[in-house]
Amino acid sequence: MNTTLKIAMAQIAPVWLDKKATLAKIENSIKNAVAESCELVVFGEALLPGYPFWLALTGGAEWNTEVNKKLHAHYVNNSICIEKGELDSVCKLAKEHKIAIYLGIMERPTDRGGHSIYASLVYIDQHGEIKSVHRKLQPTYDERLTWSPGDGHGLKVHSLKSFTVGGLNCWENWMPLPRTALYGQGENLHIAVWPGSDHNTKDITRFIARESRSYVVSVSSLMSKSDFPKDTPFIDKILKNAPNTLANGGSCIAGPDGEWVVEPVLNKEGLIIQTIDFNRVLEERQNFDVVGHYSRPDVTKLTVNTERQTTVEIK
């Protein structure tokens, strides 16, 4: 049995808050991954259409201001409604080329009314089917000014060749119980997506790998001043306070022993490609298996609510 999996980490910058242009860039990265015979391609958190950097640059916590209202509306208008088919082109590529995809999007779901947005991690399998949409459970700090809190519906794992793959968004990866929810379903390839920068990925990637005895793939985006489109609302105000580099990447892979397979890659746009071997998981589980032989469910056990939360239930 072929126990290897070839992975592409797509460390790219969005065409910030422009969903059509960013989607075209994502599709091009998928095609490039296919050309390299990759079987899984992973994109960063909220890449489509971008991270809300303006919140820290324009007084995002100020109440009832024109700046915050108009930028939020612009963000929502460029977020993705899956129910309207806005990921169909990505699914088509996955099916045509038999490649699995993890993609970080800003989701505008109709089951919550279609006006609030969620940082969602979408898994598309090699048949082009969306198998899970994980809405970030707890937006971090200023993200709460524009993102809504998600639910446990997307805490799912998926079979991919010899592997069982699952994923979390950004600082969710620091939450031990959501991690455990995935471990308990057999996860052995953990996908951690980030908006960017090695200060996020350099410690937690190896920690999760060592805790779970799994491969951990952390994928970040890039963002610099030049990536802000000139027609963005209040662009002058944003650029006035923006550093030259807002996200420097830091995409990386740790092995089941917690050591680097690919060290964090900085300030380099494009695909980072690596082949991993499932047998390394079994080797490291020999002495520690956090939900198997090294667990005590008679003493501690986790309960997970995977219901999709909605305000209205139509019967």
- Domain containing residue 215: CATH number: 3.60.110.10
Domain annotation covers residue 114: yes
Average pLDDT value over all residues in the chain: 97
Q: Is the full-model pTM beyond 0.95?
A: yes
Domain annotation covers residue 58: yes
Chain centre to alpha carbon of residue 89: 19
Domain annotation covers residue 126: yes
Assess contact for 101 and 7: CB atoms under 8 A. no
Domain annotation covers residue 116: yes
The tokens for 38 are 């990759």
The tokens for 173 are 């990866």
Q: Which of 308, 314, 313, 312 is nearest to 150 (CA)?
A: 308
Domain annotation covers residue 313: no
Domain residues for the domain of 100 are 4-285
Where residue 313 falls among pLDDT bands split at 50, 70, 90? confident
pLDDT of 277 > 70? The answer is yes
Domain annotation covers residue 172: yes
What mean pLDDT comes out for the span 89-95? 98
Residues across the chain: 315
Domain annotation covers residue 279: yes
Token pair 């006035």 in the structure block, residue: 240
| pLDDT one-digit tens code per residue, 194-235 | 999 999 999 999 999 999 999 999 999 999 999 999 999 999
Assess contact for 153 and 308: CB atoms under 8 A. yes
pLDDT of 23 > 80? The answer is yes
Question: How many domains, the chain?
Answer: 1
Assess contact for 148 and 118: CB atoms under 8 A. yes
Residues β-bridged to residue 122: 103, 133
Taking the C-alpha atoms of residue 108 and residue 114, their distance in angstroms, rounded to an integer, is 5
Instruction: Kindly report the backbone phi and psi dihedral angles of residue 307, in degrees, each rounded to the nearest multiple of 5, phi listed first.
Output: -70, 135
Q: What pLDDT sits at residue 19?
A: 96
Taking the C-alpha atoms of residue 101 and residue 111, their distance in angstroms, rounded to an integer, is 23
User: Active-site positions?
Assistant: 45, 136, 170
Domain annotation covers residue 315: no
